[in-house]
Amino acid sequence: MSRAELIEQLAAIVGAENVLTAADDMYSYLGDWRGRYRGAARCVVRPASTAEVSAVVRVCGQAGVAMVPQGGNTSHCGASIPDTSGEAVLISLSRMNRIRSVDPANNTITVEAGCVLQTLQEAAFEAGRLFPLSLAAEGSCQIGGNLSTNAGGVQVLRYGNTRELALGLEVVLPSGQVWDGLRGLRKDNTGYDLKQLFIGAEGTLGIITAAVMKLFPLPQATATAWLAIASPHAAVRLLNDLQAAFGTTLTACELVSDISLGMVLKHIRGAQPPLSNSPWYLLVELSGPGEEVSLRSALEGFLEQALEGEVIADAVVAQSGEQAERLWMLRESISEAQKIEGFSIKHDISVPVSRIGEFVDRADAALKAAYPGIRIVAFGHVGDGNLHYNQSKPEAGENAAFIASQAQVNEIVHDIVHELGGSISAEHGIGQLKREEILRYKSTVEMDMMRAIKRAFDPQGIMNPGKVL
């Protein structure tokens, strides 16, 4: 099938106005937000329904044309960007943005893949419920992409990753067939849990078109605090103490280094330091039933004891929702501030929570010995063992040479992660960034199982090729 014939058939399915072929029209779809990847495509197709996705996939499959599904295009690893051959069809789910139903009594919401995460959160709130997935890109990322990468965010400690929040999926398979697994059940032992194959698969096994997601009661009270601490070791101790004192009321526990905060203060307008300088900080949030004054008082009492025991050096507790938002803005602006500062080598790693301090000590020492003058930006979700651990040089000229050493830097960091029983990708996925690197850390048995699953679902190898495998 010629390029013109393919585009004509796709236009007949979704409308000519939803098949983009001009370079200017496709430009924003073909580059990632970090500026790391830029690909090419035959066209960008924007279906508006599951039936249209199915028809588009069937046509592409019959023509043997590769397909790259894309949500909000906020991927950190290039999963939603095609290669540079220009042969693939990019399928944008952005028009499939409807909320199909909300069932407060069942604590579920059924949404299409192109629904922006913030829109889903707002719909849940209007129904008197909470959808707890929360991350910096929530104003633009889409739930289909969150599912495809098994996104994490700041409340995994209490609510789990996206995988734990999904009850059912609707998926268009590489054949064009539609699997309707939109069941809002907490218990269903009727064979293999097929939805789990597609969550975290980054669009390599099929295209998620809709999902049933869990909802939770809205917290009646929250308490937020910013703490000055000496080290990641102290952060782990505090985490354990907080969990012992507050149980599941502990919603978030975020670690921030002084260098990370310094970049935010330098580049983000309105950012103000909540405390005097400290080598490390911890952002803590509690949420649950009851009165906010009581919850805040309980947190303040805990922190007073921590101060007396010299577990923390200082603390500030937000006295209003506005103050809490300002504290969270400091944490959520780190990635944006880093982007403004310039390129860095980024790592999204996880280790057992108990070994976070050991990882930071060992990785810092190894990198500083190999690359004197290196600047390390470390921050992340200490509550679930996931750190964003990034490196650069302060001077632009030196940094360019340092970035060229990415493979060697990755090996230093990821070898330590592996030795500690960790993962080289905690919540960002593999995409094209880490596709070769996982071969160093996954066993032959694991890789063979993954390839077998890929062949079973996508024998032509045309669903998001070059990603993950």
Question: Is the CA virtual torsion 288, 289, 294, 298 positive or negative?
Answer: negative
Span 205-263, pLDDT tens digits: 999 999 999 999 999 999 999 999 999 999 999 999 999 999 999 999 999 999 999 99
Rounded Cα distance, 301 and 307, in Å: 10
Q: Do the strands 216-217 and 221-229 form a parallel or antiparallel pair, or are they unpaired?
A: unpaired
- pLDDT value at residue 179: 98
Question: What pLDDT is recorded for position 137?
Answer: 87
Q: What is the C-alpha to C-alpha distance for residues 113 and 110, in angstroms, rounded to an integer? A: 10
10-40 burial code (b ≥16 CB/10 A, e <16): bbebbeeebbbbeeeebeebbbbbbebbebb
Instruction: Note the pLDDT tens digit of each residue in 283-318.
Output: 999 999 999 999 999 999 999 999 999 999 999 999
Question: pLDDT under 50 in the chain at which residues?
Answer: none
- Helix 50-63 and helix 3-14, axial crossing angle in degrees, nearest 10: 170
CA of 212: how far to CAs of 93, 165, 204, 259, 348, in Å? 17, 9, 21, 40, 28
What are the structural domains of the chain?
3-92 (3.30.43.10), 99-217 (3.30.465.10), 221-335 (3.30.70.2190), 342-426+434-444 (3.30.70.2740)
Q: How far apart are CA 182 and CA 161, in angstroms?
A: 19
pTM for this predicted structure: 0.93
- Strand order of the β-sheet with 207-214 is 99-103, 108-112, 207-214, 166-172, 178-181
**Residue 396 confidence (pLDDT):** 79
| Cα separation, 68 vs 90, whole angstroms | 5
What pLDDT score does 256 carry? 98
